[in-house]
Amino acid sequence: MIESVPSPAPRVAVILLAGGRGTRAGFGQPKQLERLGGKPVLRWSLDAFGGHPAVSGGVLVANRDVMAAIGELPEGWISAAPGSERQQSVANALAALADWDDEVFVLVHDAARPGVDTAVIDRLLGALQDAEAAIPTLPVPDTLVEQAHDEAGDVIDRGVLARVQTPQAFRLGTLRRAHLEAVEAAATDDAQLVRRLGVAVAAVPGDARLHKLTYGEDMAILAGLLGTGTMRTAVGTGYDVHRLVAGKPLWIGGIEIAHSHGLEGHSDADVALHAITDAILGALADGDIGDHFPPSDPQWRGAASHRFLAFAGERVNARGGRIEHVDLTIIAEAPKIGPHRFAIRARIAEILALPLNHVSVKATTTERLGFTGRREGIAAQAIATLSLPEN
């Protein structure tokens, strides 16, 4: 009796999409290069696919700057240039796989989902034994409603809905045909293009750890999901001085205070908010207020300083951090700050979206010594305490 020889397992290729700029995340660099758990977001996916025994190779779709920053690719991997849209990026990767057979299995994955693991990959490859395409999905746990003009409408039956993730798995020939026939059509993922061919797409259980990095606050979510949520304490200090001049409004701590003189500066010269802004940027090791809002730039002439402070707060959120406490000291002979302390605290808390008890405002004089004692100007110093991901 001659025993049958099992067919060899199909080769598996990966298309890893890392060509987006990710500006909504607000990191100041492509989000796929932002560090998560000690390594760039993109490296999480490269390591997961590069270490999977079934994966023979892949195509990283990324621009030159990302390629230069990410270092060595896994064995058997090549690169391709991104297109202006996701669909074109996948098409470029398919062109790079021109020598691969149609029966190869291909996984298409967004690098903005760093939580891919062996279990999800195995479920998708298992589904391709009987199907031409497969996607990971998660149930929708929330109540869904239609919404128009900020008004809730009818409830949508969530029982027939699912959240679609990547990687998505296909027989390479099927994916090629879907893209060839979709030249004039657009889709947000490849499974939609395949379904337009009349091809059934299997669904396998997804994973919450495949959360997508879209906004800055997603970094904190991913850190928790992927077990990299160790936080460190960072402290920054800020100090600012402005001259008092006649004929200008006086802004201190985000509120206007009635006084005979106001503070001179390129913006509204709010020494209190400037000091806090520098303290937060210092804790982030992110330069100072002049780096981000240079006085030489005419667009900031007369600008309200709450914009600078809000920007600093957004930088903290983009890093997946949080502001724990702000301590401000205003140094002025006049006007008296005491009657305005609560209003200043409340305004700072509002700008930074902090509880009131996370903001401290104090005032002092220099006992008529120095420029503040002579009522020539007002100074402020601040300390900001942040919690930041340890990455």
What is the per-residue pLDDT across 167-202, written as a single tens digit (0 to 9) for each? 999 999 999 999 999 877 778 899 999 999 999 999
What's the pLDDT score for residue 38? 75
Q: Does residue 22 register a pLDDT over 70?
A: no
What's the pLDDT score for residue 278? 97
What's the pLDDT score for residue 6? 46
Residues β-bridged to residue 266 = none
CA nearest to 202, candidates 140, 125, 139: 125
The CA distance from 46 to 345, in Å, is: 47
The kind and range of the H/E element at 205 are strand 202-205
List the structure tokens of 333.
């002979």
What is the per-residue pLDDT across 280-334, written as a single tens digit (0 to 9) for each? 999 999 999 989 998 888 888 888 999 999 999 988 887 778 899 999 999 999 9
What's the pLDDT score for residue 232? 87
What confidence tier does 1 reach under pLDDT thresholds 50, 70, 90? very low
What confidence tier does 4 reach under pLDDT thresholds 50, 70, 90? very low
Terminal Cα distance for the chain, rounded:
61
- The percent of residues above 90 in pLDDT, for the chain, comes to 69
State the number of CA atoms in the 13 A half-sphere of 45 facing the CB.
29
pTM (2 d.p.)? 0.64
- Mean pLDDT value of segment 22-46: 83
pLDDT averaged over the chain?
A: 90
Domains of the chain by range and CATH?
A: 12-225 (3.90.550.10), 231-389 (3.30.1330.50)
What is the per-residue pLDDT across 92-110, written as a single tens digit (0 to 9) for each? 999 999 999 999 999 999 9
The CA distance from 107 to 278, in Å, is: 46
The contacts of residue 87 (CB under 8 Å, 6+ apart) are 179, 182, 186, 187, 193
